Structure 1
């Protein structure tokens, strides 16, 4: 690709750590398994000393290796792609890698102090969580959309919410096919809520987090049951954040709260407009804490973001507006 230039290569993590500050790349691509320092340690060291957008391409991140995937995300990798076991099999693989590199070249990253990757759930819940069960708020559902950088951002919100949070939460995350089950099991380990992939027809329960499955839009019907729909021709993405937000706006109206997080493109902005127009609450992640500001910026440009907040405060804000009055 004429717009992408390889400025350096290294055979293992230790060599990469020396090379990267010299050549100052826009994006770092790494495998997980390498002799000596592996990809996980390289990411931890790099994010502490010389943070860069990192794409992991590895055979060790496919099905059955979910733990690897989320240790890498937690360490600071922005995106992960399973590597075909026998070279680049077709144009699609190459295109996907090049597209991800182009996206990551515009991503903002932050220094992460070195620490153990297996972090326990923080216990810094607000005092008001004691009373959240007596829900005096009009809000009846939370719905969250995210893309690049989203798994880490969503987790920061969920970790603030207590086990007895009184509302259902719907999530649509743009993620490479095959990673969703791993994402869900990682979320379950790292927060107090129950997280699952949504199933057709199930009734929404309080304190449950429902993720749109691969290649299906997550909607609800008038009886507040899950409806999984196939690709909407008017939407580029499936699952689509717009489709989810519109469905929630239609059935919950002013009782809905929509959150649009970090991500490339504009998915979610028009759907958030539906929640805003219905009298619901709309929150978008601020530019400073986004890996990619595209989706939140599109909502702000439409004039439908009531609150523009750093990711660290969104969970607490949700508690504030859904708690007793």
Structure 2
């Protein structure tokens, strides 16, 4: 997906289309949006076929999409919409088992921009936080400008040689990545293009709805071919694997190369936060680290990427044209925190080049 956030907000209510095969859920979600003056419910649909037609006829600003529906499921509907009349699609699901989570995460491949949990019941007082997250996510995603997608994703290019020059020899011990909206697909693209086994450990924070990170780790492993696991407190950070921050705790790293999970207040509205991770990496690894800040809303990690740069680390921000939302990387660029601003393909090439340059440093040739 090649997209970026619109620079101007809605001056009129956000037009939302609600898609779910359950009449009760459709009515409940429509009620929630209709209760907020910032939204206008332009229609509902009971299956994917109805959704595709409604998007064409009613031209919503954003679509909330269920996955498991008759006739055409949410995955197929999202793909059809993005190939014909592209509009931001937010997957709203009540499925939290690992098996069921694969479908909404796979829907991101079809063009959906976010996955959010559906309230577990219709008691507004009991589900206030879940409802708030749903409404906020849909409102924010309505501001994302999406473009038409044709067919399936292109195959990842072979990366037998690095395409990004590494002019300084670096003894890199750790790579830290932060991502939010749009991050899952970018992470998949980068990891799938790295040489395997990859000799440098990777730690990452991906903002994702609580309860989804376990399924996300499993999906990312299968989709990228790169081993992924949820980080555990005190474990050693080893090469050949990406360690994802779990729900509800900030992930930091120690000078001894171990994961340290901490209970602390949210930073930039997030637990775990990219800022907390990057700050610890700057302190523990200094110039022996790489920081990568990918697509996402807000400013999480931007200033701390600058702290990593100040300590001598190589710092990279995703470029605007490839970002679903150019908030986090854009703020890093504005602050001068990024040594390089690259597309996902070139980020993967840069990380591969680090390994390539290190191997050459042990041979007779230097990196040119």
Q: TM-score, structure 2 length as denominator? A: 0.80
Matches within 5 A, 1:141-290: 141-232=174-265, 235-290=268-323
State the partner residue of 1:132.
none
Q: What do you get for the CA RMSD once the two structures are aligned?
A: 2.0
| SS in structure 2 at match of 1:323 | helix
Distance 1:61 1:111 in 2: 30
Range with greater deviation from structure 2 (1-10 or 164-173): 1-10
State the partner residue of 1:309.
342
Range with greater deviation from structure 2 (280-289 or 309-318): 309-318
Q: CA deviation at 1:101?
A: 1.0
Distance 1:285 1:175 in 2: 19
Distance 1:173 1:123 in 2: 22
Range with greater deviation from structure 2 (88-97 or 144-153): 88-97
Q: Give per-residue Cα distances to partners, 1:88-129, cap 9 Å, x unaligned.
A: 6533232221101111011132333234x9x9xx57442248
Q: CA deviation at 1:78?
A: 1.3
Q: Is the 8 A contact 2:191 2:226 kept in 1?
A: yes
Q: Give per-residue Cα distances to partners, 1:178-229, cap 9 Å, x unaligned.
A: 1111111111112232110011111111111000110111111121111111
Q: CA deviation at 1:86?
A: 3.5
Q: Give per-residue Cα distances to partners, 1:271-294, cap 9 Å, x unaligned.
A: 101111011111111111111111
Residue among 98, 106, 113 paired with 2:143 = 106
Q: Is the 8 A contact 2:292 2:317 kept in 1?
A: yes
List gaps (5 residues or longer) in structure 2. 1-35, 163-168, 358-366
Q: CA deviation at 1:61?
A: 5.0
Distance 1:312 1:25 in 2: 32
Range with greater deviation from structure 2 (10-19 or 164-173): 10-19
Q: TM-score, structure 1 length as denominator? A: 0.91
Distance 2:335 2:207 in 1: 22
Q: CA deviation at 1:234?
A: 5.4
Structure 1 pair 94/245, CA: closer, same or farther in 2 (3 Å)?
same
State the partner residue of 2:94.
59
Q: CA deviation at 1:11?
A: 2.5
Distance 2:91 2:323 in 1: 20
List gaps (5 residues or longer) in structure 1. 130-135
Q: Give per-residue Cα distances to partners, 1:106-157, cap 9 Å, x unaligned.
A: 1132333234x9x9xx57442248xxxxxx6422211100011111111111
> Which of structure 1's runs of 4+ aligned residues deviate more than 6 A?
none
